[in-house]
Amino acid sequence: MQGETKLKFVDPDWTADGIPCNDRVLVCYDRNYAAIHWGDGAPIEVRVLARGEPAPDLKALNAVIPKEQWRDGFNGQPEPPWQLQRVLEFLDPETAERLSWRRRLRGEDVYPRVRLTHRSMPTKFGGRERPYLEIVGWVRFGAHGGLEAIESNIQPETQQRCIGSTAPATAMQSVSEPSLSEEMGGDTVPF
């Protein structure tokens, strides 16, 4: 993980190192994967995957570990010890804090700006809230590393609600949503 601050979602709240951050707006700028062999509450082995590297065969890795050694999952059933961990990397454009938890049509340097929120989902144990990253705009990192572009429907008062944010909003220019014609590769619909 790149960020020292770790985001958590525990139904129905987002926190960053214990500080509430529901509705906080962040830029999701990277993702990482790792195969983790879990022991009793702590990792035994972590295999960080390089960009583009395929994940190891977790089914085969788990098959050689006796089920008696598997830990219990949230549902009380044995859970495979080897699991794939996905980490999203975030940047707070207001404070430059890095946190850990549509490039195709607008270029590889365009990243979503997301609001940390949640949505209801049905489960066999009743309704629960799940984490949800609401895309509120798009940003581009400039030639000198700063955020130079954004399209946003966020109101200024919402930007100032970001926990710990005292710095003024970073000035950015707009990156528009792709048109239907662009998504279709330049084709047009005649009707």
pLDDT in tens, 134-143: 988 877 766 5
Tell which residue, 117, 130, 97, has the closest CA to residue 11.
130
Q: Does the global pTM surpass 0.75?
A: no
| Cα angle for residues 92, 95, 98 (degrees, 5° grid) | 45
Which helix (H) or strand (E) covers residue 10, if one does? strand 5-10
The token duo for 183 is: 């998504």
Q: What per-residue confidence (pLDDT) applies to 180?
A: 57
Mean pLDDT of the chain: 74
Find the radius of gyration of the CA atoms of the chain: 20
Q: What is the arithmetic mean of pLDDT over 97-116?
A: 69
Which helix (H) or strand (E) covers residue 20, if one does? strand 19-20
pLDDT bracket for residue 39 (50, 70, 90): confident
Q: What per-residue confidence (pLDDT) applies to 72?
A: 84
Percentage of the residues of the chain whose pLDDT score is greater than 70: 68
pLDDT tops 50 at residue 166: no
Q: What per-residue confidence (pLDDT) applies to 143?
A: 59
pLDDT tops 90 at residue 144: no
